């Protein structure tokens, strides 16, 4: 079975800095994969290359076996790649419902343009309600998004990603700002998401990583340092030296 996502020699330079350095990466469908690493390791730059927010200096990105290296971000969304940002990117003046509705409407329009049935307002409402229910924000649907606590804004962004019904959902620091109770709920949420989508997350909360990830990719200085199961990564001396034994801040 071919990987859902694959990169070959993927690189990105900013002036003299090589933020991502010839990364070969493979992600299978249905997997929960975590990317970890110290400050400046290139994690966010790597996933930004995957989702099309920035263009690579070299290398190739394949999604479902198709070369998407030069596709713009919105075309990758249509193909099933959704990305939540490290810094929230909600529409603060719109309601929680309307934020998710924008994402759900995009998916429904794309489906109709590909020859699917036209959607009704009821279809849109159902899609929004389902996404909000999954992240625990159904009771805040009418609240202005900018009035949410920061942790709830993070969950709203996840709901916006879910409303796209992606094949691949990329989460960048999703537990940042969440309380311990909310983190427990988030772990359950990701396991639920993984029943229908592949999940790629950047995360510094190591208990979350160890609880969720099928495999972990460790990046350092823009390159892949190690890759393996949580037990293998925990026991890797190079990883311990570069990351696990030092304060993590990104």
Domain boundaries, the chain: 1-80+167-250, 91-165
Instruction: Tell me which fold the domain 1-80+167-250 belongs to.
Output: Rossmann fold (3.40.50)
Are 170 and 82 within 8 A, CB to CB? yes
Q: What is the reported pLDDT for 248?
A: 42
Give pLDDT tens digits along the chain (250 positions).
Answer: 689 999 999 999 998 899 999 999 999 999 999 999 988 899 999 999 999 999 999 999 999 999 999 999 989 998 999 998 644 578 999 999 999 999 888 777 776 666 665 666 788 898 899 999 999 999 999 999 999 998 899 899 999 999 998 999 999 988 888 889 889 999 999 999 999 999 999 999 999 999 999 999 999 999 999 999 999 999 998 888 877 654 444 4
pLDDT at 157: 92
Q: Which pLDDT score is estimated for 247?
A: 43
> How far is Cα of residue 73 from the mean position of the Cα atoms in its chain?
14
CB atoms within 10 A of CB 122: 8
Cβ–Cβ under 8 Å, residues 163 and 107: yes
**pTM summary value:** 0.88
C-beta contacts of 177-185 below 8 A and 24+ residues apart: 177/149, 177/150, 177/151, 177/153, 178/151, 178/154, 179/151, 182/151, 182/155, 183/208, 185/136
Residue-wise burial string across 61-80, b where 16 or more C-beta atoms lie within 10 A, e elsewhere:
bbbeeeebbebeeeebbbbb
Residue 181: both structure tokens together = 């109770």
Nearest to 152 by CA among 136, 168, 164, 128: 136
């Amino acid at each position: 079975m071919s990987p859902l996502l694959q990169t070959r020699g993927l690189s990105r330079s900013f002036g003299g800095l090589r933020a991502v350095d010839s990364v070969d990466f493979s992600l299978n469908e249905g997997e929960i994969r975590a990317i970890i690493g110290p400050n400046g390791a290139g994690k966010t730059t790597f996933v930004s290359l995957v989702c099309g927010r920035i263009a690579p200096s070299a290398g190739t990105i394949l999604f479902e076996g198709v070369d998407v290296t030069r596709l713009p971000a919105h075309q990758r969304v249509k193909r099933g790649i959704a990305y939540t940002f490290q810094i929230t990117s909600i529409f603060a003046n719109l309601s929680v419902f309307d934020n998710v509705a924008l994402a759900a409407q995009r998916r429904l329009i794309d489906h109709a343009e590909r020859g699917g049935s036209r959607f009704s307002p009821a279809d849109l409402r159902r899609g929004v309600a389902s996404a909000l229910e999954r992240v625990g924000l159904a009771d805040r649907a009418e609240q202005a998004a900018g009035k949410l606590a920061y942790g709830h804004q993070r969950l709203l962004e996840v709901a916006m990603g879910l409303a796209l019904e992606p094949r691949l959902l990329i989460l960048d620091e999703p537990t940042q700002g969440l309380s311990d109770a909310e983190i427990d709920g988030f772990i359950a949420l990701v396991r639920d998401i993984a029943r229908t989508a592949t999940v790629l997350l950047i995360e510094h909360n190591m208990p979350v990583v160890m609880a969720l990830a099928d495999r972990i990719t460790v990046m350092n200085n823009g390159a892949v340092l190690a890759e393996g199961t949580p037990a293998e990564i925990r026991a890797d001396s190079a990883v311990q030296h570069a990351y696990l034994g030092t304060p993590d801040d990104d």
